[in-house]
Structure 1
Amino acid sequence: MNLVDYVKSVSQEDFGKPFRHQAVWNNRLKSTGGRFFPHDGHLDFNPKIYEEFGLATFRKIVRHELCHYHLYYEKKGYKHKDADFKNLLKRVDGLRYTPKSQQQKVNYFQYVCQKCGLVYERKRRVDTGKFACGKCRGKLEQKR
């Protein structure tokens, strides 16, 4: 798929306006679907999102970035917090947030207090010899 031609077609079909800059794949993007650069007008897109979620989801991400693009050049509110951006994004059915990929999902560590039974979930591992239950000061044990 030629990315620039695809973005141009989405811009014309969904916005009725031309896209006159560059669109490139950026393999370094991890948690974002795309980025708009106001200083030169180009768009970056995450190829992993396209591969993992397919063309329908990717099209919604393209619409999101094109909302930034068109509003910026119309001198309207193009940032996420602006009402102009939110309204246009809703009108063209773009994604507000990028879906979480399998690599982004966080594995939690679970710990149980042996005294009161309180369950703790943590993103990072806890040293059970050093830390105790915050409620009763009992010994913690890793659940899984």
Structure 2
Amino acid sequence: MTDEELQSLVQEISLTYFHRPFRHRAKFNARLRTTGGRYLLQSHNLEFNERQLVHFGLDAFVGIVKHELCHYHLHLTGSGYRHRDSDFRKLLQMVGGSRFCGTIPGAVNLSGLRYMYQCKKCGLPIIRKRRLDTRRYVCAKCGGKILFIQKERVNQNKENEKEKKG
């Protein structure tokens, strides 16, 4: 699907389900990784993740389009356009939009790195996904200095199995 086809699809869905025209731009954004689409508050344009269409099909993608159009129309009418607002939830349910999008396999690139630290004072092991500035932070248990131990790569499959079990 091209950006022009996407534009016409969004305009058609807007008129059919919302009974209002979509007067801005809709396009694919290849940089979107963890989301199906997004509504840009400043420009009122919509951006969509093309991989959602490829992996989950047109029906799921139409649900994402409806979701983003809920943000669009509510924001332009001055109603509650955020996920937590009751206006948004009611409209989303009314038009049959999707609340969440599916996770694309391999889209979120978790590097599988773990950073190992240890408190100098009490010996508490600290395992983090992100690096820690040892000059700025201290041990939460005793207030001692934190020492970097090692950076290790964790096998993602084993880690996913552990999360499912516990």
**What TM-score results when the alignment is normalised by the length of structure 2?**
0.64
Give the CA deviation at 1:25: 0.4
Please state if 1:11 is matched with 2:14: yes
Give the CA deviation at 1:105: 7.2
Distance 1:126 1:48, change over 3 A: same
Pairing of 1:98-109 with structure 2 (within 5 A): 98-104=101-107
Give the AA of the match of 2:18: F
Please state if 1:66 is matched with 2:69: yes
- Superposed CA deviations along residues 34-92 of structure 1, whole A, max 9, x for unmatched, are 01012111000000000000000000000000000000011000011111001101111
**What TM-score results when the alignment is normalised by the length of structure 1?**
0.73
Please state if 1:76 is matched with 2:79: yes
Contact 2:33 2:108 in 1 (8 A): no
Q: Aligned residue pairs: how many?
A: 117
Higher helix proportion: 2
Give the AA of the match of 2:24: H
Q: CA RMSD in A?
A: 2.4
Distance 1:105 1:37 in 2: 22
Distance 1:14 1:89 in 2: 10
Q: Which residue of 2 aligns with 1:32?
A: 35
Q: Which consecutive residues of structure 2, in runs of 5 or more, have no partner in the other structure?
A: 117-124, 126-154, 159-166
Give the AA of the match of 2:10: V
Q: Which residue of 1 aligns with 2:151?
A: none
Q: Pick the aligned partner of 2:91 from 88, 92, 107.
A: 88
Distance 1:28 1:126, change over 3 A: closer
Contact 2:34 2:108 in 1 (8 A): no
Identity %: 40
Distance 1:65 1:27 in 2: 17
Q: Which residue of 2 aligns with 1:47?
A: 50
Q: Which consecutive residues of structure 1, in runs of 5 or more, have no partner in the other structure?
A: 108-122, 132-141
Q: Secondary structure at the match of 1:24?
A: strand
